[in-house]
Structure 1
Amino acid sequence: MNTIKSLSLQFTLLKNAAIYAPEALGEKDILICNDKIVAIEQNIDASTIPNCTSLDLTGLTVCPGFIDQHIHLIGGGGEAGPHTRTPEVKLSSLIEAGITTAVGLLGTDGMTRHPETLLAKVKALNFEGITAYMLTGAYTVPTPTITGQIDKDIALIDGIIGVKTAISDHRSSAPTIAELCRLSTQARVGGLLGAKAGISVFHLGSSKKTLEPIDHILANCDVPINKLLPTHVNRNQVLFDAAIAFALKGGYIDLTSGINPELGARNAVKPSKAVMQALKAGVALDHITISSDGNGSQPVFNAQGQLTGITVAGFASLLAELKDMVQKEGLCLSEALQPFTSSVAQFLQIDKGHLKPNADADILVLNKDMNIEYVFAKGKKMVHNGKACIKGTFEE
């Protein structure tokens, strides 16, 4: 029986890499058993381990996989009509960008897209090899749910960890403060009863109101500030200044890697520069997160509110901003990794974002130019030489 049991254990040994967990651990070996890291030590001998595949990573860097907490997994958009509804995300698109944990959500379109469909996609991605969660709700208030209640969705349905809505945007439903307080408190209680984060994520548009609706929530109900997340806060400098003030009071703020003046967002604060601004202002690094808003539409509106263009957001901006934080802004890699890994895990209350024994083996391997060479998700090699070696069910 012991021999049969041992044959079911598959070991992978990653040798001689510079390890950032995200803290710098120096050059060590990582031993993976099935989906878990079981040891991080110097000079682990593969010859003493049965069923072990060894990979020499000399000259390469190992770090945690990205946790992207803002992805339109089943598509988004539709602002220019039904033909502009973006398609479902492909597994290969996620893993080639280094994403090993994804959080899905709905956006403007909560009419032809539904939380039930999103939940099915979350289950599919978990089956295909990465870790996926979701937020219930959409832009509108009252918001679409599966059970009919936000708190029930979060407390009772595996994979649902919070709710999303929209404020300070012409596409929001102009919710009242009472409605926002009720939404946030329901998410909080659902989280308590379901042993989950119970977060409320607020899409921020370009309105001059900036974070005023969230300030009103804090003034009118007792939801902790660390359960309220404003996202897209680097959309413009005025909004980002308000976000810094919010973070200095103890809140988390989420930058969007794809909202970038170099990618066409003319008034945006480049995420890598925004991080440095926030740090200079005294914001704690572990309260700054970066997500992609990937696979959603990127509509462009003129001053009259008319749609002038629309594209689909990708995921490459995550790694690009990590590189720029290190190579252009001078942040050390251990610090630059945090908004993509450990800070997100801390906010979402998930056991991810760190390389340590007993943790899930969600691992990125970067070359000297900080490009992705390998991705391991739950111990399985998903990307080799920067290309997906595991595809989604219906991918060619």
Structure 2
Amino acid sequence: MSFILIRNANLYAPEPLGVQDILISHGRISAIAEAIELDTNLPIETLDAQGQLVCPGFVDSLTHITGGGGEGGFASRTPEMNLSHAIKGGVTTVTGALGTDAIFRSHEELVAKVKSLKEEGLSAYFYTGNYHFPVKTLTGSVQKDIMLIDECIGIGEIAIADHRGSQITWRELASVASQARVGGMCSNKAGIVLVHVGPGEDHLARLFEVAEHTDIPIKQFYPTHINRSAALLDQGIRFNKAGGVIDFTASSTPEILASGEVKCAHALKQALQSGADENRITFSTDGHASLPEFNSQGELVSLKVGAMTALHDELKDAVLIENIELETALKTVTLNPAKVLKLPHKGQLRLGADADLLLLDAHSFEINSVMAMGQWLMKNQTIVRKGTFE
């Protein structure tokens, strides 16, 4: 089809724009208006979205697209994601990362998966590095990876406050951040440092030390898992108020919640009630990561896998249970992560933006249809495009 015209859409861009028509052509949004009329002999696919909400496709800033290294041995290594995992969760942009294991999970494998997901219809990016320091890269340099590899937009997950990390010092972390910052500046990319924050009691101390002792701005760091505990959430709110962006992990388990993790949607409510800036809060899935539960001796108790449907689940809970405005909740999974990752054509519905969008039931917020780059991946709750080997 040359054109796709969606009529009578209750549009959240993510700000509410009321009932609008949306015209899509060549993978981009060509027009948004109350009533679009076309005088053309070119083929047009028309869809009536009456009774549905239309919002941007979700931007997932942390997905272990090649799977994660299992903390329970080789048999516990988690599986890689498939295209349908993202579609079911309304995710149209993924950002891949390595985690604990950078021996059997490689950057070469990560880049190949990114490129394959792009061929299958998603927008996909990745972080160089992993939990550990010295940093492993593809080219031998964080700066080179960011500048020379199109899909590389930063470094992560580099671990702090975690027994599985390298116990990185603030000076070492500042050096890594400087390399990422310069690489981003020289290539007009985010150059962001995604920071895995573990359960250690020093929480965000390393990030505050870098901000105190250097000229590197606090917003250079993007700490995730901030809802891991009430104490970490308090520090995360402080970090947010100091100008930083914080990320809440949507994937969880009953065991992890019972150990003190704050449910993602509820963490958002607490942060907003504490005066945090809603424009500097994001959700990510941690999809396909291992979700381990450790005892007080650091021994593995249980392990499950992060789900890519978690963003959608927590968005619904934020609105329907926590009574957060839909516009505010939507920002955490659309516009806010797109801004952090410096992806100006993602996370919003506007003229010229990529045609990544979701049709949601106006009452239950269940996903009806998914479009990525102007192509339908799900239509009327039926997946119409699957991965190559699904």
When normalised by structure 2's length, the TM-score is: 0.96
Stretches of structure 2 that go unaligned for 5 or more consecutive residues are: none
Q: Give, in angstroms, the shift of residue 47 of structure 1.
A: 6.4
Whether the 8 Å contact between 1:197 and 1:348 is mirrored in structure 2 is yes
SS at match of 1:340: coil
Alpha-carbon shift at residue 259 of structure 1 (Å): 3.5
1:78-105 CA-to-partner distances (Å, cap 9, x unmatched) read 2111111112110110111000000000
| Residue number in structure 2 paired with 1:77 | 69
RMSD over aligned Cα atoms: 1.4
Cα separation, 2, equivalents of 1:48 and 1:193: 44
1:372 maps to which residue?
Answer: 367
Structure 1 runs of 4+ aligned residues shifted over 6 Å read none
* Aligned partners of 1:13 and 1:46 also within 8 Å: no
Task: Identify if the C-alpha distance between structure 1 residues 262 and 27 changes in structure 2 by more than 3 Å, giving closer, same or farther.
Answer: farther
Structure 1 position 266, deviation (Å): 3.0
Does the CA-based 8 Å contact 1:181-1:220 persist in structure 2? no
Deviations 1:176-226 (A, max 9, x none): 222111111110011011110011011011100000011111122222111
> What stretches of structure 1 of length at least 5 have no aligned partner?
1-8
CA–CA separation in structure 2 for the residues paired with 1:300 and 1:340:
26
Letter in 1 for 2:176: L
1:233 equivalenced with 2:226 (yes/no): yes
How far is the alpha carbon of 1:282 from its aligned partner? 1.4
How far apart, CA to CA, are the structure 1 residues paired with 2:385 and 2:147?
Answer: 33
- Separation (CA, whole Å) in 1 of partners of 2:170 and 2:295: 28
**1:54 alignment partner, SS class:** strand
Q: Which amino acid aligns with 1:394?
A: F
C-alpha deviation, 1:308, in angstroms: 1.0
Q: Does 1:63 align with 2:58?
A: no
Q: Distance in 1 between matches of 2:242 and 2:257?
A: 31
Does the C-alpha gap of structure 1 residues 284 and 261 become closer, same or farther in structure 2, counting only changes over 3 Å? farther
Work out whether residues 260 and 269 of structure 1, in 8 Å CA contact, stay in contact via their aligned partners in 2.
no
One-letter amino acid of the structure 1 residue matched with residue 376 of structure 2: K
Cα distance between partner residues in 2 of 1:118 and 1:93: 17
Matches within 5 A, 1:225-264: 225-259=218-252, 264=257
- How do 1:97-116 and structure 2 match up within 5 A? 97-116=89-108
Q: CA deviation at 1:262?
A: 8.2
Closer/same/farther in 2, CA of residues 248 and 141 from structure 1, 3 Å limit = same
Looking at structure 1, the residues matched to 165 and 19 of structure 2 have their Cα atoms a distance apart, in angstroms, of 49
1:260: Cα distance to partner?
6.2
The answer on 1:208 being equivalent to 2:222 is no
**TM-score, length-scaled by structure 1:** 0.95
1:362 equivalent to 2:359? Answer no
Q: State the identity %.
A: 44
What does residue 3 of structure 1 align with? none
Asked whether the 8 Å contact 1:261–1:270 carries over to 2, the reply is: no
Q: Residue 282 of structure 1 is aligned with which of 275, 287, 292? A: 275
Partner residue in 1 for 2:214: 221
Pair 1:135-2:127 in alignment: yes
2:81 to 83, 89, 94: 89
C-alpha distance in 1, partners of 2:68/2:170?
26
Match of 1:168 among 161, 170, 178: 161
Partner Cα distance (1:272, 1:310) in 2: 22
Asked if the contact 2:85–2:309 (Cα under 8 Å) also holds between the matched residues in 1, the reply is: no
Provide the C-alpha distance between the structure 2 equivalents of 1:298 and 1:242, rounded to a whole number of angstroms. Answer: 22
